[in-house]
Structure 1
Amino acid sequence: MGNVRTEKVKRIARELFRRYPNRFTADYEENKKVLMSLVNLPSKKLRNMIAGYVTGLASAALGNKASEEK
């Protein structure tokens, strides 16, 4: 089963992914670095939670593009 994330994490992650879709990838470590360059987050834990959620969004978006090409 997956983790339950707060609405704050989901809202921030969706907004960042909507604004910068080309900056995020399916790589969690890379997304953490991108987040550090884009926003000043108050805690490491919040950054990691947002990076994890954005990674899932990016993976889903890449999966949808791959299935459309077939």
Structure 2
Amino acid sequence: MSQLAKLFINGGSRAVRLPAPYRFDAKEVFIRQDPETGDVILSRRPSNWDSFFAALKDAKVPVDFLGLEERGGRR
């Protein structure tokens, strides 16, 4: 179900007033834009990186996934 959020000017910036069910219990959120639709997406900022590193460990990423230069090495 879609709801409307109000847009307003706050200082020199455009701001969004989120309806109560969509509010974040945080001071910051991640923001990104879908390149296909242009939709703006807000998501929770993790309090720590533990879940990221756990997922990375389970992902079985090959050691040569990044090139030498991207891994901080030299040519």
Same fold at TM > 0.5: no
What's the TM-score, normalizing by structure 2?
Answer: 0.21
User: As a proportion of its length, which structure holds more helix?
Assistant: 1
Higher RCO (CA < 8 A, seq sep 6+): 1
What's the TM-score, normalizing by structure 1?
Answer: 0.22
